[in-house]
Amino acid sequence: MKSGFLDKLIERLGRVGPEEVENYLLRLAQEKGLIETVFNSIQEGIIVTDADARITYVNNAACELFGFDAEQSIGKRLDERVRGLDWNLLSSATGALSRDMEIFYPANKFINFYIVPLLIERRAKGHRAKGPAEQVGHAMILRDITESRRSTEKTIESERFQALTLLAAGVAHEIGNPLNSLHIHLQLMERKVRKLEGVLAGELQESIDIARSEISRLDSIVTQFLSAIRPSKPQLHPEDVNAIVDAAVRFFAPEIEDRDIVVEQELRSDLPALELDRDQMKQAFYNVIKNSFEAMKRRGILRIRTDRDDTHVFVNFTDTGGGMSAETLSRVFEPYFSTKTSGSGLGLLIVRRIVR
């Protein structure tokens, strides 16, 4: 249909006969069907709304993205059909707007919204001149950017871990060598103390034993840190997840008592044995529990629950801490990001690395 056809038709509307009007309407219906066929054949989703955000058109691709039924969606508000959609933000722009959004139903995906206001220049009856443009709704083009988004995130994460690997090598050298030196000098001091007699010798030996114990503990912490940052190939064996959770909790027994924290465990008894690395998984649970304790300070409650479905085993940690802001939640896996003044910003990153 030629450009300007509708304008000419409107001008002649009072002078055309019923048969000609019928022909025009038939042509309009045919072209509408053609346009819908074209829109339903493209990969991008298309949604058109009226001025009240009610859906007036949705193509097949958009229905697949959001789990819509086209007929049932017509006349419904878009923000009622798409959970989590901030329609006020999307519709507030005076021009075209592009936004990315994560959706969780019917599948977890990242969608790019390109939204454009629809403007129509209305004509007063009997006047050829057009009036001011009036916004009658919005048109949206939707693209599934899940693969590109996850590919980008994977690349960024790979670069982060390369940096962490270099850091780990530096830590091993800068801390490991002084620890070895301290251990050697303690041995030399111990030999000299053995030549002494009396109370002083006993006191010095006690101090040496304490220093050796603390050096050993620090060496163990550094070793665990390095193995978590650069985890070796997992040694997979059938393991009881509940037993690993319980062992991680018992490790914190002194801190639980000191902070007056209540740990409630609801461990499902019929969990299957899982092929996993016990030490690495224990380290992951340890880091999550430690984060919970630090978030609650004192007299909090940590609930640990294990469960299963047909394909997965779940371990849920819930505490009575203050929670995280949306900004903090989006950055919890960034290296060195921490809301604590003494935090390393590596705990949850290590958890993610082990679990993955």
Angle between helices 199-229 and 146-194 (to 10 degrees): 160
pLDDT value at position 111? 92
As a whole number of Å, the end-to-end CA separation of the chain is: 57
pLDDT value at position 128? 56
- SS3 (DSSP) at 255: helix
For CATH 3.30.565.10, list the domain ranges present in the chain. Answer: 234-356
For CATH 3.30.450.20, list the domain ranges present in the chain. Answer: 42-144
Q: Look at the alpha carbons of 237, 238, 241, 245 in this order and tell me if their dihedral is positive or negative.
A: negative
The separation between CA 102 and the C-alpha centre of its own chain, rounded to angstroms, equals: 9
Q: How far apart are CA 46 and CA 140, in angstroms?
A: 6
Beta bridge partners of 10: none
**pLDDT 10s digits, 213-262:** 888 877 776 776 676 566 667 889 999 999 999 999 998 888 888 889 99
For CATH 1.10.287, list the domain ranges present in the chain. Answer: 164-230
Q: How far is CA 44 from CA 53, 64, 97, 321, 349, in A?
A: 20, 10, 16, 43, 35
CA angle, 349 then 354 then 356, to 5°: 95
pLDDT value at position 356? 74
Would you state the structure tokens that stand for residue 288, as one six-digit string? 């999550």
Q: How far apart are CA 201 and CA 193, in angstroms?
A: 6
pLDDT value at position 307? 94
Fold of 164-230: Helix Hairpins (1.10.287)
Strand pairing class (97-103; 130-144): unpaired
Is there a contact between 303 and 311 (Cβ–Cβ < 8 Å)?
A: no
pLDDT along the chain (356 residues), means of 10: 57 68 78 84 92 92 89 89 79 84 84 90 60 83 92 82 73 77 87 83 87 81 66 84 93 88 93 91 89 85 92 92 78 68 66 78
Q: Output the CATH code of domain 234-356.
A: 3.30.565.10
Q: How far apart are CA 121 and CA 134, in angstroms?
A: 6
Give the right CATH number for 42-144 from 2.120.10.10, 3.40.30.10, 3.30.450.20, 3.40.1590.10.
3.30.450.20
The phi and psi torsions of 151 (rounded to 5 degrees) equal -65, -40
Is there a contact between 123 and 133 (Cβ–Cβ < 8 Å)?
A: no
Q: How far apart are CA 247 and CA 281, in angstroms?
A: 11
What stretches of the chain adopt beta strand conformation (E)? 45-50, 55-58, 97-103, 109-123, 130-144, 237-239, 262-267, 274-276, 301-308, 313-319
Would you state the structure tokens that stand for residue 341, as one six-digit string? 């003044």
pLDDT value at position 10? 62
pLDDT value at position 235? 86
Long-range CB pairs of 151-156 (<8 Å, 24+ gap) are none
pLDDT value at position 323? 82
Q: How far apart are CA 232 and CA 238, in angstroms?
A: 18
